[in-house]
Structure 1
Amino acid sequence: MSIGSYVLVGYDGTTESENALRWGAREAGLRHLPLTVCHAWRWPFPISHIDIEGTAIVKRMGEHVLDHGVTLAERFAPGVKVSKRLLDGPAYAALMHLTEDAALVVIGSHEQDALPVGSTALRLPARARRPIVVVRGAESRYGDGEVVVGVDGSVGADAALAFAFEEAALRDRRLRAVYGCWEPTAAPDCDLSLFDDEDKLRRVCGARLECQVAPWRVRYPQVDAWTSLLLKPPRQALFEAAENAALVVVGNRGLGGLEQLCLGATSSAVLQHVPCAVAVVQPLCEPGQSDQRTG
C-alpha cells in the first residue's frame, strides 16, 4: 500500500528521537527505501529579539544535532542511503512540509500518559496524509510482540489493515485484528437492538470482522493472522491487546470519526495510553470522500 519515495524520521537529539531513528532506519532497510533525517531548529526568543550572530549559533547547533542523527542512522541501517534536511521552525511544521513525498513518517514520543496537548505526536497524525509511526521506548523492549490492528468495519480500518499486514510481513510478526464491539457505533448501522442479545451481537460483528480481514489474509498468506472479537469498548480492547504488542495500528478516523482535522477519539486515546509504538493511518479514500462502511 505504500506510496512515497523515502522514510522520514524526525530527530532532535533526545533519547525518544533516537528510538524513532532506530525504528525508521530499520523500516527503510526493510522497504528498500532511502531514509531522510529531519531536524527543525528554532530561534527560542521572540522575533523582536533576533540576534544575527545568536541565530547563526543556534542554527549551527542544529546542524551538529542533525549530523549526529545521520551518523546514528548509518550505524543502525548499513547500506541504506541517508539524507538530511535542516529546517527552521516548529518540528510539526517542518515534518508536515516533508510528508507529501514520504512513504511514512516516524517520530519519537514521551512515555505513555505524558503527551502534552499540542505535541507533534498528537498533531501530526491528525493532519498528515501519510502513515505516522509514533515510537515509544526501544524496539528491543517488545521482543517478538505482535502487530495489533484495530478493526471496526470502516474505510479507516481497511487502511489500518493494509498497513498492519504489510508491517507484519516485513518484520515477520504475528498479526492480531481486534474488534471492540461494545459501543453503539461498532454495531452495523448502529443497530442498538443487537445489544439486547449478546450472542447475536457476537455473530453479526464477528462476521463483519472476518469479512474485513479476509482479503488481507489472501494478499499476505505468509502472515500468521488472528482475529479477536471483544465485548468491550474499542479503546479498552486495544489497550489490553497492546500490553504485549510491538506495534498497534489504528485508522485516523473509524466509524466514530469526528472532524476532518481532528484525530479520532480511539486513535487519540491509543496514542496517549498504550505502552508500545503506534501507527496512525489515513483512510484509503481521497480527502473529502465520505467514510463508507463495509461488512
Structure 2
Amino acid sequence: MAVYSKVLVGYDGTVESDRALRWAVEEARVRRLDLTVCHCWRWPYPISRVDYDIEPTVKRMGEHLLDQGVSRTQQLAPTVKVHKRLMNGPAYAALMHESSEAELVVVGSHEQDELPVGSTALQLPARSRRPVVVVRRTPSSYERVVVGADGSPASDAALAFAFEEAAIRGWSLQAVYGCWEPGAVAESELALFADKETLKRSCGARLERAVAPWRDKYPQVSAETSLIMEGSRTALLEASQTADLIVAGDRGTGKVSQLLLGATSSALLQHAPCSVAIVHSTDR
C-alpha cells in the first residue's frame, strides 16, 4: 500500500489561493502531515517573445510569492512542517507532477459559474490520480460534508474520503443518491423506472449497502442517507447549498467512460457554491 507523506497546495498570492492555503494548512495539521506549498511561474508571452534578460526577474517574482505563501503558512500553523516548491509551466501539470506522494492536492477557485475552461480548478481534478480539493469560499457554519453515493467504484472511493474528512474535522455527513438516471443504468434495470416504489426500494438498498461499511469504520461520524428522485447532478447541487464540502467520484454509473470526468463531477466543479473534492477510483 502506498504511503502518502504530504498535503500539496498551489499558491499564487491571490485571494482564492489564500483560501486554498488555509484549507491545506488545516488538512496538514489534522492529518499530521507535512505541507508542500507550490508556486508555478511561467513566461507570460509566446515562446517566440522570450526575453532572457527579463525572464530571471519573472522567476524572482515567483520566488517572492512562494516565500509569501510559506510565511503565511508558518503564521497559520507554526507546528506544521512546510516545504516549498518553485516550478515552471502550467499550474495543473506542475501540481500533477508533484502530487505522486501527496495525500491530497488543494487548489483555489473562482466563485461558481466563473471558471474558464482551462482553469487549474477544472483541469487538475480531471487528470490527477490523487484526491483534489477545490476551495471555493471560506467555510461556513454548516460543518457538513455531502457525498455522492450510487454504488459505483468511484462513489466508494468518494465515501472513503468523505467519511475520513468528516471524522478528522468533527463534521456531520450526508450521503446523497440522485437515483432518477434512466440513461445511466443497464437495459435490464430500465423497468424499475416504470414503478417509483420499486425503484425507491432497489436504490435505497443500494445506498445503504454502499454507506454501511463506512458507518462501521467511522462510528463517531453522524451520517445520514438521502435518496432523491432526481438526477444526481440536481440532487447534489441542491445538497451543496448547505455544505462546507461536497465530495464526488470522477464518474458514477454513467456510460460515457472516455470522458476524464463525468457530467455530475464537472457540474459540481462549475456550479457548487461550496468547496468540491473529486476522488478517483483505484481502478482508474
CA contact (8 A) 1:152 1:186 kept: no
CA contact (8 A) 2:185 2:253 kept: no
2:246 is aligned to: 248
Q: Distance in 2 between matches of 1:190 and 1:162?
A: 29
**Code of the aligned partner of 2:71:** T
Distance 1:30 1:189, change over 3 A: farther
Q: Distance in 1 between matches of 2:267 and 2:2?
A: 25
**Code of the aligned partner of 1:119:** S
Provide structure 1 residue ranges, at least 5 long, that are not aligned to the other structure. Answer: 288-295
- Other structure's SS at 1:92 match: helix
What do residues 144-200 of structure 1 show as CA deviations (whole Å, max 9, x unaligned)?
331000011100000000000000000000000000001115657661111111111
1:93 is aligned to: 93
Greater mean deviation of Cα atoms: 69-78 or 245-254: 69-78
**Code of the aligned partner of 1:198:** K
CA contact (8 A) 1:257 1:264 kept: no
Q: Distance in 2 between matches of 1:17 and 1:190?
A: 47
Of all paired residues, the percent bearing the same amino acid is 61
Q: Distance in 2 between matches of 1:212 and 1:260?
A: 25
2:273 is aligned to: 275
1:143 is aligned to: 141
**Code of the aligned partner of 1:10:** G
Distance 1:47 1:31, change over 3 A: same
1:114 is aligned to: 114
Where in structure 1 do 4 or more consecutive aligned residues deviate above 2 Å?
A: 185-190, 257-261
Distance 1:33 1:246, change over 3 A: same
2:65 is aligned to: 65
Under a length normalisation based on structure 2, what TM-score does the superposition of the two structures give? 0.96
Provide structure 2 residue ranges, at least 5 long, that are not aligned to the other structure. Answer: none
Under a length normalisation based on structure 1, what TM-score does the superposition of the two structures give? 0.93
- Other structure's SS at 2:92 match: helix
Greater mean deviation of Cα atoms: 251-260 or 88-97: 251-260
The answer to whether the aligner puts 1:102 opposite 2:136 as a matched pair is no
Alignment of 1:211-222 (within 5 A): 211-222=209-220
Aligned pair count reads 284
2:79 is aligned to: 79
Q: Distance in 2 between matches of 1:10 and 1:258?
A: 30
Distance 1:121 1:82, change over 3 A: same
**Code of the aligned partner of 2:138:** A
**Code of the aligned partner of 1:252:** D
**Code of the aligned partner of 1:69:** G
CA contact (8 A) 1:125 1:132 kept: yes
- Other structure's SS at 1:195 match: helix
Q: Distance in 1 between matches of 2:109 and 2:255?
A: 24
CA contact (8 A) 2:185 2:254 kept: no
Q: 1:175 aligns with which of 173, 176, 182?
A: 173
2:48 is aligned to: 48
CA contact (8 A) 2:37 2:83 kept: yes
**Code of the aligned partner of 2:253:** L
What do residues 52-93 of structure 1 show as CA deviations (whole Å, max 9, x unaligned)?
220010000000100001111111222000110000111111
Q: 1:229 aligns with which of 219, 227, 231?
A: 227
Cα shift at 1:128: 0.5
1:291 is aligned to: none
Q: Distance in 1 between matches of 2:202 and 2:42?
A: 53
1:203 is aligned to: 201
Q: Distance in 2 between matches of 1:185 and 1:280?
A: 22
The answer to whether the aligner puts 1:12 opposite 2:22 as a matched pair is no
**Code of the aligned partner of 1:122:** L
- Other structure's SS at 1:283 match: coil
- Other structure's SS at 2:244 match: strand
